[in-house]
Amino acid sequence: MLDFEKSGGLIPAIIQDAQTLEVLMLGYMNQEAWEKTQTDGRVTFFSRSKNRLWTKGEESGHFLEVVGTHIDCDRDTLLIKVQPKGPTCHTGSRSCFNTDYNQNFIFELVNIINNRYEFPTADSYVNRLRERGLNKIAQKVGEEAVETVIAALAEREVDFVNEASDLLFHLLVLLREKAVSLETITKNLESRHQ
C-alpha cells in the first residue's frame, strides 16, 4: 500500500522503458491517479500545473502502456515500467532527460532479433543468417572477432567501433540461435564478479 500522506498526497512516479530500462520521465500521482493507472493500464498523473488528472498521451496519442509497477521500500515512490507509444517528452524526444540516443539500445536490439526469429521476412539479414544455420552464424562470429582484433591493432577508432559493433550483433544472433538469453550471460558475468 502506497503512503500518499507522507508527502502531502502526491508521490513521485519514475517512468522507465520496460525494454531498454531507459528512464523516460518523472511525474506525480495522487491516490486517484494511481487507481486510474492500475485500472486503465495507461499511466495517469496528477498534473500540478493543470490541477487535475492527466493521462500521458491524452492529446498526442503517445500513451505509456503499463508493463509493471514497483513500490519502493518506504512506500512513497513508484517505479513504473512502460511500453511507450511514441516519444515521451512534449519536445518530441524519447526521454524528458534529453538523451539524444537510447543508452540501452542493446536490449532493444535483442528484441528486434527475437522479433525477426518469430516473424521472419525475406529482406531480413537475421532471417538470411538463420536460414544458413548454426554453423554459418558461429562462423560469422569468428570472422567478426578476427576483424575486430585487426581493426583494434590498426589503431583506426572508426574501424574498430564498426567491427566491434558487427561482432556484438552477430554474437547476439548466435545467442538467440542457441536459445541463450542476454540475461543468462549477464547473470553469469555477475556471478564471476563476486
Cross-strand pairs, 27:
13
Alpha carbon 105 to its chain's center = 7
Domain locations along the chain? 5-84, 105-192
105-192 has the same fold as 5-84: no
By CB atoms closer than 10 A (0-12, 13-18, 19+), residue 159 is middle
Q: Directed axis angle between helix 157-177 and helix 105-118, to 10°?
A: 50
Architecture of the domain made up of 5-84: Roll (3.10)
**Model confidence, pTM:** 0.66
End-to-end CA distance of the chain, in Å?
A: 34
Q: 105-192: CATH homologous superfamily? A: MazG-like (1.10.287.1080)
CA separation for the pair 64, 57 (Å, rounded): 7
pLDDT tens digits for the chain (194 residues)? 899 988 889 999 999 998 878 899 999 999 999 999 999 999 999 999 999 999 999 999 999 999 999 999 999 999 999 999 988 988 888 888 876 666 678 888 888 899 999 999 989 999 999 999 999 999 999 999 999 999 999 978 999 999 999 999 999 999 999 999 988 998 898 899 87
